[in-house]
Amino acid sequence: MTTYRVQVRMGGQYFDDKVTAENDKEALDKFVKLVDENKANVIDDEKFFSTDKIYVTYEVLKDESTKDRTVEKTSTP
């Protein structure tokens, strides 16, 4: 299974969520289901993009387990 981040800008709203799926089509289908069930993360008043067009982007997240990883900086003498 692969984790996908799907973003949609439509009608002044911005939808942004992650889904786990076997392939791109299944990921988009799962995202549509989240939106239909009102379970997707929605940000109203998206003013940056045109409200009369629909923008859909998705990306494969390579290693979701490293998302919140703390990286320690070290200095050399």
Greater model confidence, 67 or 24? 24
Model pTM score: 0.71
Answer whether residue 54 shows pLDDT above 60. Answer: yes
The residue among 43, 63, 60, 64 whose CA lies nearest residue 8 is 43
Cα-Cα-Cα-Cα dihedral sign, residues 61, 36, 49, 54: positive
> Could you report the per-residue pLDDT of 11-52, keeping only the tens digit for each?
778 899 999 999 999 999 999 999 999 999 888 766 677 778
Query: How far is it, in rounded angstroms, from Cα 36 to Cα 20?
Result: 17
